[in-house]
């Protein structure tokens, strides 16, 4: 079984390969342009992107994720990628200076399309945690160095891909997709 992941992010691709291989699913990169709309809603962004892609060869999926910080009214949310590229982890730490409430969560939305039937399925994963006081770790990507899952004293950037996948929002959403594929596509 082969599925295509519409992404140009090799970090995300690596995470997906590791998870889906345990369901006997092979992941290939589909490096086409994704039309991303501005929205507060990750599911709307993912479904819109999926609708605009004309690909018939095999099931394919898009994934959108965001870091939602409670004290910042959900910022950077769906714009996490842009915010990371401009103000980065340091900008987030500065915005939270002197703020006690460090609660945050990562949300991942995976939208899968089965071209043979035209059907679309959505899978979500969420991980609660908090923003660390400083950047820690070199692994992962994006805001991983400042995010600690609840109950842990290490950031996502201090975990191996396998360990991060166990807890992460994307790990959860991708496992849901893996289970669904195993049940429904063979």
CB of 45 to its own copies, least distance (A): 8
**Catalytic positions, please?**
64
CB of 88 to its own copies, least distance (A): 9
Query: Which one among 37, 117, 160, 162 touches its own copies, defined by CB under 8 A?
Result: 37
Closest-CA residue to 63 (of 186, 182, 149, 176)? 176
What is the spatial distance between Cα 47 and Cα 93, in angstroms, rounded to a whole number? 31
For residue 131, give the H/E element and its range: strand 119-131
> Which residue, 147 or 167, has its beta carbon nearer to its own copies?
147
Please tell me whether residue 53 binds its own copies under the rule CB under 8 A: no
Please tell me whether residue 183 binds its own copies under the rule CB under 8 A: no
Please tell me whether residue 134 binds its own copies under the rule CB under 8 A: no
What is the spatial distance between Cα 134 and Cα 145, in angstroms, rounded to a whole number? 8
Please tell me whether residue 133 binds its own copies under the rule CB under 8 A: no
Q: 59 near 114, Cβ under 8 Å?
A: yes
Residue 144 DSSP symbol = G
* Residues in touch with its own copies (CB under 8 A): 35-38, 40, 45, 72-77, 79, 82-83, 85-87, 91, 94-95, 97
């Amino acid at each position: 079984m082969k599925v295509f992941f519409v992404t140009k992010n090799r970090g995300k691709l690596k995470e997906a390969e590791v998870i889906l291989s345990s369901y006997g699913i092979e992941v290939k990169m589909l490096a086409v342009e994704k039309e991303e709309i501005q929205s507060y809603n990750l599911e709307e962004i993912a479904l819109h992107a999926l609708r605009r892609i004309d690909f018939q060869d095999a099931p394919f999926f898009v994934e959108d994720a965001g870091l939602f910080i409670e004290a910042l009214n959900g910022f950077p949310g769906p714009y996490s990628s842009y915010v990371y590229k401009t103000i980065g982890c340091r900008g987030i730490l500065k915005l939270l200076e002197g703020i006690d409430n460090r609660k945050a969560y990562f949300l991942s939305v995976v939208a899968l399309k089965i071209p043979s039937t035209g059907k679309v399925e959505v899978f979500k994963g969420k991980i609660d945690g908090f923003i660390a006081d400083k950047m820690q770790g070199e692994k992962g990507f994006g805001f991983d160095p400042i995010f600690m899952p609840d109950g842990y004293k290490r950031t996502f950037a201090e975990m191996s891909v396998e360990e991060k996948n166990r807890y992460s929002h994307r790990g959860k959403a991708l496992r849901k997709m893996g289970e669904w594929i195993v049940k429904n596509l063979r």
